[in-house]
A and B are shown apart, each in its own frame.
Chain A
């Protein structure tokens, strides 16, 4: 066996291992229903802030805990404990991606969150001008 063949085999093995590991470590986008079917498994859940519920952030009680409610894309609602200080723009967010897991008590524990705010990049030009 030539050395180049050994090298080629090692390279292929490492590449395959890397691919499988990437798939293995990857999380999934899921609906709340799926997340609550598998409590304890980490998911990315996409949804919107439920504006009918208050956002509770009491820094004097805990500076790293924000509680609010979200509605996922299927319309299911749940309460969220986010282990972060309240992001300044949470109220104006139009889309949330929560990264975390559901628990057996019906709450979602998010350790991270991505937010899309309407004005960041693609605010539509709105000209009403009363005409």
Chain B
């Protein structure tokens, strides 16, 4: 921080401004917190005014930070670490937004931005709830601003600022170059930034993060209202204003999560839209609990039958957002996720952020004052002990146990317990059950994702579990003692085992839920209304089972299919049947149809996705290991036409467009192949001759008796030269796909898939391997064959017969080169491996001088896309370099029914918004009515 040097071109003012704005936003939030707490306690409107001014100041500061960071990125001020790390000059400008939130700091800023926007909307709308709700918002903003401060308090770094100059980074302080006033111009590294990770240079990455973070930010609204309700002892009233916000959050968060899925499907090459990755799970869990919370609010507005669960789910949703933030950003996930952030020293800050809100939640639930004080006291003691005695893990475990006990105490002592039992056939009972199932589903995902956290928590108990193992011989005790749990190897199977039954119950409840009445349902009417949907769903499920060929062992999947169809139909029929076609009230039905379609699309596409690319050459992989799978990747030579699924594909070649290397793949229809009498074909190691003209069926064994007679005798070369029997041949060109590789020397090259969409299925293809450094002539690196004259070489594309070596030492050669030179010419015949009639001749040449290879003249056969280079001649032995034409390894996957999923997402989001709009209007209408009377 040497101010005496006048640095050139640094734009230091921007960093200063950004830093001061961060400080203002922090202070503003702090003042807003204090004022709103005082306002809530005293109801003094003066404090509310101060709170509003402070929160507005905070808001303007946050806006200023956002603008400053954008200006820095837009102008490529690479003196700043954040700009240098996340952008460069080559990158298209439209991805500036992706740079903004690529880093830890930028995404916290995005979160703070949305929380700020929602806070301002609540100042405008929340009325009597403004005090406590905004106090909670201000506290969250204090923590988020802290994450951006990047200052040192007693040698502990607090947060990480996006406004750091590279020369001010701790690792650079004191280095000689930081004393140069013109370091930006003389050090070449500063002329351009590191650039954006190619995976994020995608339009989904421009819209997915803001949507997801708006979803995360909106989970704070029900949390804040729940706290407000407990704080101001209005334990039921808070749900009315919180309800539309909650459903807004459900819609936005759901959309954000599935946009992430769309990004993965469109831009990433892990082959699918959902992989149960910890980062994906971390966003799904809060959505599940939020859905539970929202639906319980619907009941409790009318009856207080499950008040405690409503509070619990509303509070836990935001806590799960904090937990997932902690998991994905503190670095604890480490090796378990490919796309988590690394630590950057955020662990302590995030942990304190999360635990503070746990304390607030549990303390608020305890309505008994002495219990509350006891709990807060214990928490503080744990905090102090944990830090001073360096026993964080036991302190956290003890704190967790006390928090759970105090939650139970709050439930037993508080006024949440319901008095009466509900009717079995009532909406409130089944909504309650549904919310519990959602909670269990969230809990299961959380358990399985939390392995790295378990490892941290288990570490201090190494000795205890080890002695338990010694005493009892229990294997699991030993495993726990090692505290090195890893996520399940078969992640998909593990999660599906639990989540399919949960999804089944939820979908069944979605199907019947709206037909149930509050309090008591007319049994006869209920069954009559649902009858069509039930039988319709049975029929559609049967069709699906027939179309997609489900087996008996897949009963759970078929059950979920049925439940999803049932939910689609019953909710769709609800609109004409019960709502009489009034679309403004149809929001919930629409959202439910959408949700059920998301389930349906996921179940169909995930259970019936299949790789149509096959490894057809070489040893079978399952010999190596029983779990190894051959049906994965296929080898495509340039120019080859090979079957893939119901099509034939030709790899035409590659071309470069900007930073992308596009591989042109033409797809042709597969036509039945016709054989005429007298054609011979090979099947395994037998030859057959056609008895008559016919069109091939799908199976040779079926065709054989009528159309083929086995050849009794044949020579080896006949066997070799005869083509395989093939049922189909390529027909007309249907479409073209262009899977590509994005070249990025700094981050590594990234393959991006290319997908053909049909109404009922997708063909998803991506490059798994490609030699990018092929020479300009399009040949692969050569392979050396050492053979003798008379030998045969079989390469993947051709058969080479080495006929003879000629030594040329005639007068012309001698006069041109001199007497010490010897010229060898290799005479070869080359045959296309796939066509026994295509023969070519080749004469590669090598020149020796006193026994040393001094030069050679290669020989190309462009028709076969192969190139020969004679490397050595030693008597009868020759070394021949063969360069094959270019190839790629491609994977092709069919995803059936995936469009059902995408349509479902759109319907679910639209439905949620229609429902929110209708709720807000109804509320407005009520108020107008009061005013008029």
Contacts and interface: CB of A to CB of B under 8 A. Distances in A.
Interface in A59-100: 59-65, 81, 83-86, 88-89, 92, 95, 97, 99-100
Given A29-B486, A44-B486, A62-B615, A88 B749 contact: yes
Interface stretch (B112-120, B145-153, B165-173): B165-173
A15 B447 CA distance: 10
B784 interface: no
A120 B747 contact: yes
Contacts of A60: 617-618, 635, 796, 884, 887
Interface in B452-488: 476, 479-480, 482, 484-488
Contacts of B751: 88
B489 A27 contact: yes
B629 interface: yes
Contact of B436 (A11, A29, A81, A122): A11
Contact of B625 (A2, A84, A111, A117): A111
A121 B497 contact: no
B769 interface: yes
Nearest to B183: A129
The listed residue with most A CB atoms (<10 A of its CB), out of B341, B615, B769, is: B769
B889 A26 contact: no
Contacts of B633: 59, 63-64, 84-85
Interface in B487-538: 487-490, 494, 497-498
Contact of A27 (B488, B617, B746, B796): B488
A25 to B, nearest CB: 4
A103 to B, nearest CB: 7
A94 to B, nearest CB: 12
B615 A63 contact: yes
Interface string A1-37: 0111001000100110011011101111110000000
The listed residue with most A CB atoms (<10 A of its CB), out of B451, B486, B494, is: B486
A26 B187 contact: no
A84 B448 CA distance: 26
Nearest to A121: B342
Contact of B488 (A26, A61, A121, A129): A26
A27 to B, nearest CB: 4
A99 B621 contact: no
A27 B629 contact: no
B236 interface: no
A89 B746 CA distance: 11
A23 B335 CA distance: 18
B335 A114 contact: yes
Contacts of A42: 489
Given A125-B169, A127-B187, A22 B489 contact: no
A56 to B, nearest CB: 13
B768 A85 contact: yes
Q: How extensive is the interface on chain A, given as a class?
A: 35 or more
B416 to A, nearest CB: 12
Interface in B75-92: 81, 84-85
Contacts of A11: 436, 440
B866 interface: no
A26 B632 contact: no
Contacts of B887: 59-60
A46 interface: yes
B342 A122 contact: yes
B695 interface: no
Contact of B615 (A21, A64, A92, A111): A64
Contacts of A59: 633, 635, 769, 887, 889
A123 B81 CA distance: 12
Given A62-B619, A129-B189, A28 B629 contact: no
B440 A18 contact: yes
The listed residue with most A CB atoms (<10 A of its CB), out of B172, B447, B487, B628, is: B628
Contact of A114 (B338, B627, B632, B747): B338
A7 B81 CA distance: 55
A34 B452 CA distance: 20
Contacts of B489: 27, 42, 44, 99, 111-112
Given A85-B633, A92-B748, A21 B497 contact: yes
A65 B621 contact: yes
B280 interface: no
Interface in B879-915: 884, 887, 889, 891
Contacts of B487: 26-27, 44
B378 to A, nearest CB: 25
Given A18-B440, A59-B635, A119-B748, A83 B621 contact: yes
Nearest to B624: A81
Contacts of A95: 335
A124 B444 CA distance: 38
Contacts of B889: 59, 63, 85
A131 B177 contact: yes
A43 B87 CA distance: 38
B498 A121 contact: no
A57 B887 CA distance: 13
A81 B433 CA distance: 48
Contact of A127 (B177, B618, B748): B177
Contacts of B436: 7, 11
A64 B476 contact: no
A18 B449 CA distance: 12
B208 to A, nearest CB: 18
26 contacts: A18-B444, A22-B444, A22-B488, A27-B489, A28-B482, A28-B485, A59-B635, A59-B887, A63-B615, A63-B635, A63-B769, A64-B621, A83-B625, A83-B629, A83-B632, A84-B632, A84-B633, A88-B748, A89-B749, A109-B625, A121-B341, A123-B746, A125-B169, A125-B171, A127-B175, A129-B186
Interface of B: 81, 84-85, 166, 169, 171-172, 175-177, 183, 186-189, 194, 197, 335, 338, 341-342, 344, 418, 421, 433, 436, 440, 443-444, 447-448, 451, 476, 479-480, 482, 484-490, 494, 497-498, 615, 617-619, 621, 624-625, 627-630, 632-635, 741, 746-749, 751, 768-770, 772, 796, 884, 887, 889, 891
Interface pairs A-B: 5 shortest CB-CB: A85-B768, A109-B625, A62-B618, A60-B796, A44-B486
Interface of A: 2-4, 7, 11, 14-15, 18-19, 21-23, 25-30, 42-44, 46, 57-65, 81, 83-86, 88-89, 92, 95, 97, 99-101, 103, 109, 111-112, 114-117, 119-127, 129, 131
Given A2-B421, A59-B889, A126-B189, 13 more contacts: A15-B443, A23-B485, A26-B448, A26-B485, A30-B484, A63-B632, A65-B621, A81-B625, A88-B769, A109-B627, A119-B194, A123-B746, A125-B85
